[in-house]
Amino acid sequence: MEGYPLASAFDPANNEIYVTQFGSGNNYVSAINGTTDSVTTTINVGA
């Protein structure tokens, strides 16, 4: 994935961090497990 982080949010109920990534014609939201620091899913939200 290319681009840069635009915003982030933390959900303490499930310990997930959500990061929006913008750039290169693709925009994504990635969910990151706050315990393992690994990306659990990435969703393409359009150009």
Whether 21 contacts 28, CB under 8 Å: yes
Q: What pLDDT, on the 0 to 100 scale, is given for residue 45?
A: 87
Q: What pLDDT, on the 0 to 100 scale, is given for residue 2?
A: 66
Nearest to 6 by CA among 15, 16, 14, 18: 18
Q: What pLDDT, on the 0 to 100 scale, is given for residue 1?
A: 55
Angstrom distance (rounded) from CA 22 to CA 31:
15
Residue 44 dihedral angles phi and psi, to the nearest 5° = -80, 125
Question: Structural domain boundaries of the chain?
Answer: 4-44
**pLDDT tens-digit profile of 1-47?**
567 888 999 999 999 999 998 876 778 999 999 999 999 999 988 76
Tokens for 33, please give them. 């497990």
Q: What pLDDT, on the 0 to 100 scale, is given for residue 12?
A: 97
Q: What pLDDT, on the 0 to 100 scale, is given for residue 8?
A: 96
